[in-house]
């Protein structure tokens, strides 16, 4: 890693000339919200030297050019809803917040694309698409507040990934300010593109290490006329998780198959002050099916009901979509209310290995002194969120037990053919872990890509891959 320079008064003055004095922050109190994302452990907090709020790609290009000249790190930042400390300035430098770039630039109903700036929230994109009779299928649990730019930078997954795919499948092009200050567009509105390497797909999921996304071309699909949500409640972990591959193999393509274990349900119930079905001993599987033919949907729901009943479900309910999704999306917030410090693991395994993974995680929690580990997630694509709660452990006990527990979890995940992260990304939290568990050739190629894009290594340094 190169030696970086500090942000001087003269650099701050140049930044003010680029974006305007009111859009440059340098006092600690106002910069504090930009010192962390949703990770609450104090070791993942670092105050920026300066925060800037550009209005367009041209201003960002000028900031990046200045940073290259002065050898100052740059950290791109969206809404700060990340869970891997990917937008925290651990090497110091300039945080480039994209809050002002919040316009929907175009909704092209003929080619079915929406063109947006990176600071538009996912919810705003979905609402605008729905109003035109379309669907934007990206649906992370943080969609009410997360920015599209952050979704693209992390290849966010979410609740509808089984049917529609992750953010990568929703994006057809980006405008990018490169780490050397050039403005370039990869992709666009063409449905097909075999023109050289797919630089677009390198940028998607690169977590701000290969440039700053300043525009995104989003795919739209026809808005389904009908949707039905089912809540299947199971008496134990095994019968709940075992139903997932059976639903997937039944000839149905659900939009969603979500999972919540019993401890997660109880914690959410307390957090929302709202009674949830069978919260005393139930394990939830939430299934959503969508389509234009209501009769077909009812047949599919009937088949899912039969499969769940045969697998030992206590009850299968047609769920109130508002209530059940409020509970599911409150999962992380509820755990944070119970334990301000917790580690959210974002593991992913092949779908047929979900039962083994979740059962092993439960066993490991008991092995390490009954540490509370709450599991929920996108069971239909193997993405399990396991929240390890500090609760009332001392700092010393937490920092002693957590790495050992994580190590056993990751070892198990890779033995099952899985990966460290399904959708939250590597960020800063998992840099060392990626190097430990990924193939050395993979790491070498990632480093080469990073150096090719960012020869001065100023763009979000210390994230994803160390060079």
What is the pLDDT at residue 52?
98
pLDDT at position 363, please? 94
C-alpha closest to that of 141 among 424, 429, 413: 424
Model confidence band, residue 158 (pLDDT cutoffs 50, 70, 90): confident
Q: What is the pLDDT of residue 327?
A: 94
Rounded Cα gap, residues 332 and 81, in angstroms:
12
pLDDT reported for residue 237: 84
Q: What is the pLDDT of residues 323-346, one digit of tens each?
A: 999 999 999 999 999 999 999 999
Taking domain 9-99, whether its CATH number is 3.40.1160.10 is answered by no
- Residues 395-420 have a mean pLDDT of 96
**Adjacency order of strands within the sheet including 104-108:** 104-108, 113-116, 212-219, 171-177, 183-187
3-state secondary structure of 11: helix
| Spatial contact of 35 and 45, defined as CB atoms under 8 Å apart | yes
Q: Which residue has the higher pLDDT, 84 or 143?
A: 84
Give pLDDT, residue 88: 98
Predicted TM-score of the model (pTM): 0.94
Decide which of 3.30.465.10, 3.30.565.10, 1.10.10.60, 1.20.120.400 is the CATH code for 104-222. 3.30.465.10
Where does the pLDDT of residue 81 fall: very low under 50, low under 70, confident under 90, or very high at 90 and above?
very high
Confidence of residue 249 (pLDDT cuts 50, 70, 90): confident
Architecture of the domain made up of 339-427: 2-Layer Sandwich (3.30)
Q: Is pLDDT of 227 > 90?
A: yes
Integer CA distances (angstroms), 467 to 269, 314, 452, 457, in order: 45, 53, 12, 8
Same fold, 225-330 and 339-427: yes
| CATH class of the 225-330 domain in this structure | alpha beta
CA dist 54 and 96 (Å) reads 7
What pairs with residue 385 in β-bridges? 346, 376
pLDDT, residue 352, reads 81
Mean pLDDT computed over 13-32: 98
Residues 6+ apart with CB under 8 A from 49: 6, 7, 26, 89, 92, 93, 94
- Is residue 378 within 8 Å of residue 156, measured between CB atoms? no
The C-alpha atoms of residue 81 and residue 166 are separated, in whole angstroms, by 17
Going from N- to C-terminal start, the domains of the chain cover 9-99, 104-222, 225-330, 339-427
Beta strands in 304-404 (DSSP E): 315-318, 342-348, 373-378, 383-389
The SS3 assignment for 45 reads coil
Structure-block tokens of residue 298: 């009812």
Q: Averaged over 149-158, what is the pLDDT?
A: 96
pLDDT of residue 285: 96
| CB-count burial class (<10 Å; 0-12, 13-18, 19+) for 273 | exposed
Check whether 69 has a pLDDT greater than 80: yes
- Confidence at residue 142, expressed as pLDDT on a 0 to 100 scale: 87
What letter would DSSP give residue 353?
G
Among residues 134, 135, 126, 105, the alpha carbon closest in space to that of 117 is found at: 105
Instruction: Check: CB of residue 389 under 8 Å from CB of residue 374.
Output: yes
């Amino acid at each position: 890693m190169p030696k970086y320079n500090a942000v001087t008064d003269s650099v701050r003055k140049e930044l003010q000339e680029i974006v305007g004095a009111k859009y440059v922050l340098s006092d600690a109190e106002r910069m504090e919200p930009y010192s962390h994302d949703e990770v609450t452990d104090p070791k993942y907090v670092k105050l920026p030297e300066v925060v800037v709020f550009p209005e367009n790609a041209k201003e960002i290009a000028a900031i990046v050019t200045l940073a290259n000249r002065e050898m100052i790190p740059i950290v791109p930042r969206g809404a700060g809803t990340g869970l891997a400390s990917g937008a925290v300035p651990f090497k110091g430098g300039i945080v480039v917040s994209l809050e002002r770039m919040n316009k929907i630039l175009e909704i092209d109903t003929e080619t079915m694309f929406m063109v947006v700036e990176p600071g538009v929230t996912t919810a705003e994109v979905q609402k605008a698409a729905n109003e035109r009779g379309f669907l934007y299928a990206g649906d992370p649990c943080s969609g009410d507040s997360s920015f599209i730019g952050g979704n693209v930078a992390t290849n966010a997954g979410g609740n509808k990934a089984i049917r529609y795919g992750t953010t990568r499948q929703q994006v057809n092009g980006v405008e990018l300010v490169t780490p050397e200050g050039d403005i370039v567009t990869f992709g666009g509105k063409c449905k097909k593109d075999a023109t050289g390497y797919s630089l677009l797909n390198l940028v998607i999921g690169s977590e701000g290490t290969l440039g700053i996304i300043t525009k995104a071309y989003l795919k739209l699909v026809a808005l389904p006329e009908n949707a039905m949500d089912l809540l299947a409640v199971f008496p134990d972990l095994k019968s709940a998780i075992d139903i997932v591959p059976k639903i997937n193999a039944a000839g149905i393509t659900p939009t969603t198959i979500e999972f919540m274990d019993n401890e997660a349900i109880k914690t959410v119930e307390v957090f929302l002050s709202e009674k949830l079905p069978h919260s005393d001993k139930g394990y939830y599987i939430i299934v959503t099916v969508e389509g234009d033919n209501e009769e077909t949907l009812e047949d599919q729901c009937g088949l899912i009901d039969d499969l769940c009943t045969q697998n030992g479900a206590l009850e299968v309910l047609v769920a109130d979509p508002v209530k059940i999704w409020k509970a599911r999306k409150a999962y992380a917030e509820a755990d944070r209310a119970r334990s301000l410090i917790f580690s959210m693991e974002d593991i992913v395994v092949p779908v047929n290995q979900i039962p083994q993974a979740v059962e092993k995680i439960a066993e490991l929690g008991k092995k390490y002194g009954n540490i509370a580990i709450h599991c929920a997630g996108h069971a239909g694509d193997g993405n399990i969120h396991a929240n390890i709660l500090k609760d009332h452990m001392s700092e010393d006990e937490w920092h002693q037990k957590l790495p050992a527990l994580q190590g056993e979890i990751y070892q198990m995940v890779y033995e099952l053919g899985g990966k460290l992260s399904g959708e939250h990304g590597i960020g800063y939290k998992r840099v060392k872990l990626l190097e430990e568990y990924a193939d050395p050739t993979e790491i070498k190629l990632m480093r080469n890509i990073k150096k090719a894009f960012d020869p001065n290594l100023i763009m979000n340094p210390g994230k994803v891959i160390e060079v």
